[in-house]
């Protein structure tokens, strides 16, 4: 998925649909769709596109970062797969400095810490990884509260080795002096 702008232009050709146009069409389709299955598929695609740094500016321009956060924060949204794909989107895009700043200044930590208490291991993995990626000198205090440290300590005893390892990394890297 990672590519250069020149390679992308070469692959799409002079008349190919541009990346911005394609992402815009996905956002429009997501917003107009009433079918959960369609919304899941679109959100999964957007989460996958969040891997590629070429898309970061487009994501900010099209408010896709907002879309991920809104889905995670929406108490009315009960579809766990939509929540999962949104978390994947945040996780995949938050290593970019501007995206990280956006997430941190828009209450992302407060929104996502609730997902540390889900029983779904895939969601736990994404949430812990996202928290690790969001740690900065300025955000460390918010991300390492006693509630989060206690939950991470519990997760070190998880039956899922991946969850266990990530929780241990979090504690070792951010909660010890």
* 3-state secondary structure string across 118-172: CCCHHHHHHHHHHHHHHCCCCCHHHHCCHHHHHHHHHHCCCCCHHHHHHHHHHHH
Which tens digits make up the pLDDT trace of 156-175?
Answer: 999 999 999 999 999 999 99
Is the pLDDT at 10 greater than 80, yes or no?
no
Domain 5-174 has CATH 1.25.10.10: yes
Q: Is pLDDT at 49 greater than 80 in this prediction?
A: yes
Question: Is the pLDDT at 28 greater than 50, yes or no?
Answer: yes
Q: Is the pLDDT confidence value at 16 over 80? A: no
Nearby residues of 158 by Cβ (< 8 Å), 6 or more positions away: 121, 124, 164, 167
What's the distance, CA 56 to chain centroid? 13
The rounded distance, in Å, linking the Cα atoms of 165 and 156 is 7
Nearest partner of 118 among 90, 89, 160, judged by Cα: 160
CA angle 83, 65, 9 (to 5 degrees): 115
User: Cβ-count burial of 162 within 10 angstroms (0-12 exposed, 13-18 middle, 19+ buried)?
Assistant: middle
Q: Are 147 and 154 in contact (CB under 8 A)?
A: no
Contact in structure between 163 and 128 (CB atoms under 8 Å): yes
pLDDT in tens, 98-157: 999 999 999 999 999 999 999 899 999 999 999 999 999 999 999 999 999 999 999 999
The mean pLDDT of 29-46, rounded to a whole number, is: 95
Q: Please report, for the chain, the start and end positions of each structural domain, with discontinuous segments joined by +.
A: 5-174
| Nearest of 57, 125, 130, 118 to residue 91 by alpha carbon | 130
Return the pLDDT at 176.
78
């Amino acid at each position: 998925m990672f590519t250069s702008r020149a390679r992308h232009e070469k692959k799409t050709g002079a008349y190919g649909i541009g990346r911005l146009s394609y992402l815009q069409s996905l956002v429009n389709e997501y917003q107009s769709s009433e079918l959960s299955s369609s919304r899941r598929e679109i959100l999964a695609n957007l989460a996958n596109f969040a891997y590629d740094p070429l898309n970061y500016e487009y994501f900010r321009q099209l408010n896709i970062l907002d879309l991920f956060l809104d889905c995670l924060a929406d108490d009315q949204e009960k579809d766990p797969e939509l929540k999962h794909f949104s978390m994947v989107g945040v996780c995949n895009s938050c290593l970019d400095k501007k995206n990280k700043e956006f997430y941190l200044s828009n209450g992302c930590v407060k929104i996502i810490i609730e997902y540390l208490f889900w029983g779904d291991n895939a969601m736990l993995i994404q949430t812990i990884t996202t928290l690790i990626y969001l740690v900065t000198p300025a955000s460390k205090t918010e991300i390492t509260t006693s509630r989060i440290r206690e939950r991470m300590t519990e997760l070190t005893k998880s039956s899922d080795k991946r969850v266990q390892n990530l929780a241990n990394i979090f504690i070792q890297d951010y909660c010890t002096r």
